[in-house]
Amino acid sequence: MAGENAEDRTGMEHTPFELEADFQPAGDQPAAIEKLLEGLDDGLSAQTLLGVTGSGKTYVVSAVIARAQRPTRG
């Protein structure tokens, strides 16, 4: 299904976000991804991800977006 359009919860079509990376989550990243996904499922309106420079924060958030497949807010 890669690249195929899908309807989101608002009924609008979008192309699913896919994460392309040469590595797998490591260290604290898997736990951070799971906690952020839990927060989304619980309906939290805001969450904070802290990490030092180069720790993979962008990767973690990208992995959450890819797994959740939810539209971003403007």
pLDDT value of residue 61 = 95
Answer yes or no: is 74 within a domain.
no
Answer yes or no: is 73 within a domain.
no
Answer yes or no: is 59 within a domain.
yes
Answer yes or no: is 1 within a domain.
no
Count up the domains in the chain and report the number: 1
**pTM score of the predicted model:** 0.76
Answer yes or no: is 39 within a domain.
yes
pLDDT value of residue 15 = 83
Answer yes or no: is 38 within a domain.
yes
pLDDT along the chain (74 residues), means of 10: 59 82 94 97 95 97 93 62
Answer yes or no: is 47 within a domain.
yes
pLDDT value of residue 1 = 47
b/e per residue 37-65 (b: at least 16 CB within 10 A): eeeeeeeeeeeeeeeeeeebeebbebbbb
Q: Which domain holds residue 64?
A: 6-68
Answer yes or no: is 60 within a domain.
yes
pLDDT value of residue 14 = 73
